[in-house]
Structure 1
Amino acid sequence: MIDTIQPVTHDLGAFKVRRVLPSPGRVMVGPFIFVDEFGPATIPPGQAMDVRPHPHIGLATVTWLFDGAIMHRDSLGSKAVIRPGQVNLMIAGKGIVHSERGLPEERELAKKMFGMQTWLALPDGLEEVAPAFESLADLPLVEDSCVSARVIMGTLWGRTAPTTQHSPTIYAEIALAPGGSLPIDADADERAVMLVEGEASVDGQDLALYALNVLTPGAVMKLGSTLGGRVMLLGGGAFATPRHVWWNFVHSRRDAINQAKDDWVQGRFPQVPGDEDEFIPLPQVPLTNSD
């Protein structure tokens, strides 16, 4: 490993969110420019994840759950319940608005919440593609007696996920039983792993829970666990052109981000059908800012 990024934790009351990208020392790993882990938590009755409608440009969001359920709605008219084992990919491109909320029928119940929210920067020439949304559950599973690896995006261990890619991307959830191990392919330009549950190590070096560990480029490394654990593997092709992040906007050009700010304030973004009554105002000082 060449770099370990400790998370910044935001306490949202019902659950905690831990952010490792963008960080002061590193903005991206492959196309991944934003990496949040949230939970595990039990949201009490009467409360829910309620992320009001908000805009994005220049990126694709990837939502992956270990436990719980989230209702996704967006300005394309997409409506999908996100559950464990399925990947939800929302391509913002030139602009989209979405909300993420708890299920109405679960509001008065205690409910689990545990998962990952990541953003992929769109590459040069594709930052302003048409918005799109896809939800896929038929993802490749690589198994042996002590390892189960779900390929969420890209090609790993000879299996390829059907999830749309705009630039070379790898993303996988790896479950290690006690004594389990597997090699981490060296094909991707940039790779990182995050321990999200249990215990694991890379080439004998222990992983800290929720930290992002950026791996040595080009080296075949071995992921293993003595007691059992769950690890996320992510990365892909390195970007030659830097990306700027401000709030929910990602772009190679600051003027495009400034235009998106103005468009949101002036109400030029489309609304989310079925969730038109609320929105998140443009912040004065965003929590996510790479500059």
Structure 2
Amino acid sequence: MSTIEMIIEERAASIGNFLVGRLLPFREKRMVGPFIFIDHMGPIKMSERENFDVLPHPHIGLSTLTFLFEGSIMHRDSLGNEVEIMPGAVNWMTAGKGIVHSERTPEYLRHSEKHMHGLQIWVALPKELEQMEPEFFHIDSTQIPSWTEGDIDFKLIAGEAFGRRSAVPVFSKLYMLEIKSSKRQTITIGHELYGEAGLYILEGSIESDGNTYQPKQLLVAKDSSICEFVMEANTVIYIFGGEVFPEERFIDWNFVSSSKETLAEAREKWIAQKFPKIKGEENEFVPYPSRIKK
């Protein structure tokens, strides 16, 4: 990554009873490829009296990607899915025209000490698929392509790169890669990527053009074809990006669309509680926040 267009620092944001580090959207960079929202959750240790509880809330026009490093989350949605997300697995939920889901600490962990650490990501849908029927897929960690080249470990969490394809059923040309290095070495992968590229440092540090970059920084490249940098020993990074959509995307709370009218319709539909319900959680929901500008 010899030419960096922008450095985005994590900013604290609240998701109910939990603080996260927000990376996207950023006021000067709303998206990287089709990636429109990225939260870094944790790392945090919770006591036996604390739990991760995000009540039922809606989405439209996007796919969510949940990837944990530590901990466990119980996912429930209005399609009837109930799946525990474990480290290394991928939850891929496509909202399309509308879905509701909740995310909570599993029952068997609610009265014990626990840890939480991971990434919550939104990927915008192509315009022609924004109103598709909602879908849900859970991809086990054993289905994620992983390989080693020398002292570098790679994992293709989603999309296509390096002549490989992840089992995550994406809808546009994109990639999300995990790269781990056990020793200091130069990484050159630009020719394998395409579109826009962002690099997030989870652990360790990298060097580029004589500058050193640390954890909790998202580096946005000017050109994905020039991704060359030095990884220090025991460094873990995530590279994501892909082809840019021709149309602008707008965000209103948990809704994403190329149409502001569609966002307004979704907002009023949620306020009127006309979205589908999650079985067993029919009377719980996150209210539309009044601070959001209509």
Q: One fold, TM greater than 0.5?
A: yes
The residue number in structure 2 matching 1:246 is 252
User: Residues of 2 paired with 1:27 and 1:185: CA distance?
Assistant: 22
Query: Which letter maps to 1:139?
Result: I
1:269–1:52 distance in 2 versus 1, CA, 3 Å: same
User: Residues of 2 paired with 1:10 and 1:229: CA distance?
Assistant: 25
User: Residues of 2 paired with 1:178 and 1:275: CA distance?
Assistant: 48
Q: What SS is found at the alignment partner of 2:127?
A: coil
Query: Which letter maps to 2:6?
Result: D
Show structure 2 runs of 5+ residues with no match: none
**Percent of paired sites with the same residue:** 36
Q: How far is 1:49 from its partner?
A: 0.6
Which shows bigger deviation, 243-252 or 40-49? 40-49
The residue number in structure 2 matching 1:255 is 261
The residue number in structure 2 matching 1:52 is 55
User: Residues of 2 paired with 1:128 and 1:74: CA distance?
Assistant: 18
1:193-251 residue CA offsets vs partner (Å, 9 max, x unmatched): 01012222346532232121111214332243223211111101111100000100000
Query: Which letter maps to 1:66?
Result: F
The residue number in structure 2 matching 1:158 is 163
The reply to whether residue 274 of structure 1 matches residue 280 of structure 2 is: yes
8 Å CA contact 2:194–2:225 kept in 1: the answer is: no
8 Å CA contact 2:204–2:232 kept in 1: the answer is: no
Query: Which letter maps to 2:174?
Result: T
Query: Which letter maps to 1:70?
Result: I
The residue number in structure 2 matching 1:139 is 144
User: Residues of 1 paired with 2:224 and 2:16: CA distance?
Assistant: 41
TM-score by length of 2: 0.92
Q: What SS is found at the alignment partner of 2:247?
A: coil
The residue number in structure 2 matching 1:182 is 187
Q: Which has the higher helix share?
A: 2
The residue number in structure 1 matching 2:228 is 222
1:59-118 residue CA offsets vs partner (Å, 9 max, x unmatched): 000000011110000000011111111111000000000000001110111111110001
Structure 1 outlier segments of 4+, above 4 Å: 11-15
| RMSD of aligned alpha carbons | 1.9
TM-score by length of 1: 0.93
Which shows bigger deviation, 179-188 or 127-136? 179-188
The residue number in structure 1 matching 2:173 is 168
8 Å CA contact 1:146–1:179 kept in 2: the answer is: no
Query: Which letter maps to 1:104?
Result: E
8 Å CA contact 1:203–1:222 kept in 2: the answer is: no
The residue number in structure 2 matching 1:84 is 87
Query: Which letter maps to 2:236?
Result: R
Count the aligned residue pairs: 288
User: Residues of 2 paired with 1:267 and 1:66: CA distance?
Assistant: 34
